[in-house]
Amino acid sequence: MKILVVDDNLLAAGILKTALEGEGHEVAEPAQDYDAALAACRAYLPDLVFVDLVMPGRDGLELMETLRREFPSVRVAAFSAVEQAEVDARIRELGGIGVLRKPFSMAELRAFMGSVDKE
């Protein structure tokens, strides 16, 4: 699966990228903000985008909304430490397929990716 990680924290993005590559996925270099994410989606055409919710400038929810509109076939998941029912509801409203919580274990990542593969 072709995956893009969007997170302004390069350490967190790198950890997720490395973990996904270890599971056999093709992962683009992480994008750090809204504009870089859109450019990367246009160039890379990923199957799945992990979006951090808290970023400088436009936040992850705004990015998710734009991705759903501009790239309707791309699956989008949140990648966040934020745990709030209202935020999770908004992610679902925007067509997000779920949330991978930071920090994550390999078992949690495998379970999440297993649910993505079933869609």
Q: What percent of the chain stands above pLDDT 70?
A: 99
CA distance 66 to 83: 22
At 75, is the pLDDT very low, low, confident or very high (cuts 50, 70, 90)?
A: very high
Confidence of residue 3 (pLDDT cuts 50, 70, 90): very high
In-domain check, residue 118: no
The answer to whether residue 119 sits within a structural domain is no
50-75: buried (b, 16+ CB within 10 Å) or exposed (e) per residue?
Answer: bbbbebeeeebbebbbbbeeebeebb
Q: What is the mean pLDDT of the chain?
A: 95
Quick check: is 112 in a domain?
no
Cα–Cα distance measured from residue 97 to residue 78, given in angstroms and rounded to the nearest whole number: 8
Does the N-terminal peptide bond of residue 46 adopt cis geometry, omega within 30 degrees of 0? no
| Model pLDDT for residues 15-45, shown as the tens digit of each residue | 999 999 999 999 999 999 999 999 999 999 9
Cβ neighbors of 44 (< 8 A, separation 6 or more) are 2, 4, 28
**pTM reported for the whole predicted model:** 0.96
pLDDT at residue 59, as a whole number:
94
- Residue 118: pLDDT band (50, 70, 90) is confident
CA distance 78 to 64: 8
In angstroms, the CA 90 to CA 86 distance is 6
Total domains, the chain: 1
Neighbours of 49 (CB within 10 A): 27
Any idea what the CATH number is for the domain that residue 98 is in?
A: 3.40.50.2300
Asked whether the predicted pLDDT for residue 80 surpasses 90, the reply is: yes
Is residue 111 one of the residues assigned to a domain? no
